[in-house]
C-alpha cells in the first residue's frame, strides 16, 4: 500500500529522512509529479530506473532548492545564472557542465559530463530538498513511456504497489514537463518544449537553437528524446474536425459545430467520452488539463481518442509536441 503524506513540518522531516536512508518517494511539482531519490546515492537512484522500467542511458533531472545548491554540483556561466534567476523556481531545466567529483551519482547523468538541473516551484518539495541538503533526482512518476502524472492518483495507478510513499500536492498547476535548455555548447539549444517558450528565453538572452523536433539532427543531445513517450493505451487521432464511431473526443475551444460521422453532434457524446481542454480556447488551461484528460479518456473504452487542433503558438507548441509523440506510439 502506498502511504499518502499531506505536507506539514513533520512530513517534510520524515520525507527528507526517508530519502537520506535511500528511499524513493513520489513528490509534487508544478509541472508533473516526480519520482525522487537522493541524487548522490547511486543505489537509491537505481531503484527509480527499476520502478519505471527506464533505460539506463536516459539521464535524470536533479532538483535543487537554490541556485547555491546548483553551484555545488555544476558550473553555472553568467548566462546560466541569468536564466536561473529569471525562471527559478519554475519549469526550466538547465543542462550544465558537471563539476568533477561533484558527488552526483553516475546513473543520474547516465555517465555524461553534463547534468540537468532545475528548481521546482512547489513549496513542500523545495522544503524537502532543503531539509535533505542535497539535490533530488526525479523523473516523471510514471512507468517509462506512459502518460505523465499530474495528480497523485495517476502516480499510484501507474506505479501502484512498488511505491511506498507519495507526498500530496494537488493537481500540478502547469501540467507539462519542464522546458529543457542545453547550455554546454557555444549556442544554447532547447531540447524539450515546455511552459517556458523559445520566445520567453530569447527575450532574455537572444537567439537560441531549437532541437525539439526529432528529425532536426541525427545525434540528439537529449538522450531520452527519441524514446516512445507520453502514450495512453488508446490510440490518438490528431487535428480531428469530426468524431468517428467508437471515438472519444478531446476538444479545444468550442465544439458547437462539430458533427459525428454517423450523424448527430459531438456535444451529445455519452458521458466520459467528451472532455474539453479549454472551452474558452486558453492554451495555458489546456496544458494544465492535457495529461489528466488523456488519463480519463483512456478509461472510456473508446477505440480511439480524436483530438481537436491546438494552435501552434506559445505553450501550444509544447502541447502539440506531447500529442504528436503520444499519437506515434
Burial of 33 from C-beta contacts in 10 A (0-12 / 13-18 / 19+): buried
CB of 52 to ligand TXA, least distance (A): 9
If binding is defined by CB under 5 A, does position 140 make contact with Mg ion?
yes
- Report how many residues bind ligand TXA under the rule CB under 6 A: 29
Furthest-apart CA pair in the chain: how many Å?
Answer: 66
Q: Give alpha helix (H) positions in 21-95.
A: 42-52, 67-73, 78-87
Which residue is at the shortest CB distance from Mg ion? 140
Near ligand TXA in 177-196, by CB under 6 A: 177-178, 180, 191
User: What are the phi and psi torsion angles at 132 (to 5°)?
Assistant: -70, -30
DSSP 296-315: HHHTS--SEEEE----SSTT
Which of Mg ion, ligand TXA, none lies near 316, with the C-beta cut-off 5 to 8 A by kind? none
If binding is defined by CB under 6 A, does position 140 make contact with ligand TXA?
yes
CB of 230 to ligand TXA, least distance (A): 9
Nearer to ligand TXA, 114 or 197 (CB): 114
- Roughly how many angstroms between the first and final C-alpha of the chain, as a whole number? 31
Q: 196, 192, 195: which is closest to 205 by C-alpha? A: 196
Near ligand TXA in 64-93, by CB under 6 A: 91, 93
Task: Sort strands 25-27 and 34-38 into parallel, antiparallel or unpaired.
Answer: antiparallel
Selected binder of ligand TXA within 28, 59, 251, 283 (CB under 6 A): 59
| Binding-residue pattern over the window 99 to 138 for ligand TXA, x denoting contact by CB under 6 A | ----------x--x-xxx---x-----------------x
Whether the upstream peptide bond of residue 229 has omega within 30° of 0, thus cis, is: no
User: Which residue's C-alpha cell is 533530488?
Assistant: 136
| Binding-residue pattern over the window 81 to 120 for Mg ion, x denoting contact by CB under 5 A | ----------------------------------------
Selected binder of ligand TXA within 223, 281, 311, 314 (CB under 6 A): 223
Which of ligand TXA, Mg ion, none lies near 41, with the C-beta cut-off 5 to 8 A by kind? none
Among the residue ranges 88-96, 140-148, 151-159, 292-300, the one whose residues contact Mg ion (CB under 5 A)? 140-148
* Cell of residue 287, nine digits: 496544458
CB of 29 to Mg ion, least distance (A): 12
Q: 245, 238, 279: which is closest to 260 by C-alpha? A: 245
| E strand spans, 133-241 | 136-137, 165-167, 179-182, 189-192, 209-210, 236-237
Positions touching ligand TXA (CB under 6 A) are 29, 31-32, 34, 58-61, 91, 93, 95, 109, 112, 114-116, 120, 138-140, 177-178, 180, 191, 221-225
Amino acid at each position: 500500500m502506498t502511504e499518502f503524506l499531506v505536507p506539514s513540518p513533520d512530513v517534510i522531516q520524515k520525507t527528507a529522512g526517508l530519502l537520506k536512508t535511500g528511499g524513493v518517494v513520489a513528490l509534487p511539482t508544478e509541472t508533473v509529479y516526480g519520482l525522487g531519490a537522493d541524487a548522490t546515492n547511486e543505489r537509491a537512484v537505481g531503484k527509480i530506473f527499476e520502478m519505471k522500467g527506464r533505460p539506463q542511458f536516459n539521464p535524470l533531472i536533479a532538483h535543487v532548492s537554490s541556485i547555491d545548491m546548483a553551484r555545488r554540483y555544476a558550473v553555472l556561466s553568467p548566462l546560466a545564472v541569468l536564466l536561473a534567476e529569471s525562471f527559478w523556481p519554475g519549469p526550466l531545466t538547465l543542462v550544465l557542465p558537471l563539476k568533477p567529483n561533484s558527488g552526483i551519482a553516475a546513473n543520474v547523468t547516465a555517465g555524461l559530463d553534463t547534468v540537468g538541473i532545475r528548481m521546482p516551484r512547489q513549496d513542500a518539495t523545495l522544503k524537502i530538498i532543503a531539509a535533505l541538503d542535497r539535490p533530488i533526482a526525479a523523473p516523471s512518476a510514471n512507468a517509462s513511456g506512459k502518460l505523465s502524472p499530474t495528480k497523485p492518483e495517476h502516480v499510484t495507478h501507474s506505479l501502484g504497489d512498488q511505491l511506498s510513499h507519495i507526498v500530496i500536492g494537488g493537481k500540478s498547476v502547469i501540467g507539462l514537463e519542464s522546458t529543457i535548455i542545453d547550455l554546454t555548447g557555444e549556442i544554447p539549444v532547447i531540447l524539450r518544449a515546455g511552459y517556458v517558450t523559445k520566445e520567453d528565453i530569447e527575450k532574455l538572452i537572444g537567439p537560441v537553437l531549437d532541437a525539439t523536433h526529432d528529425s532536426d539532427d541525427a545525434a540528439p543531445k537529449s538522450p531520452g528524446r527519441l524514446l516512445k513517450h507520453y502514450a495512453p493505451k488508446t490510440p490518438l487521432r490528431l487535428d480531428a474536425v469530426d468524431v468517428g464511431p467508437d471515438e472519444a473526443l478531446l476538444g479545444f475551444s468550442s465544439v458547437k459545430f462539430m458533427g459525428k460521422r454517423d450523424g448527430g453532434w459531438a456535444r451529445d457524446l455519452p458521458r466520459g467520452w467528451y472532455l474539453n481542454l479549454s472551452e474558452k480556447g486558453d492554451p495555458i488551461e489546456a496544458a494544465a488539463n492535457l495529461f489528466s484528460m488523456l488519463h480519463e479518456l483512456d478509461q472510456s473504452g473508446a477505440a480511439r481518442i480524436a483530438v481537436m487542433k491546438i494552435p501552434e503558438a506559445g505553450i501550444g507548441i509544447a502541447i502539440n509536441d506531447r500529442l504528436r509523440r503520444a499519437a506515434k506510439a
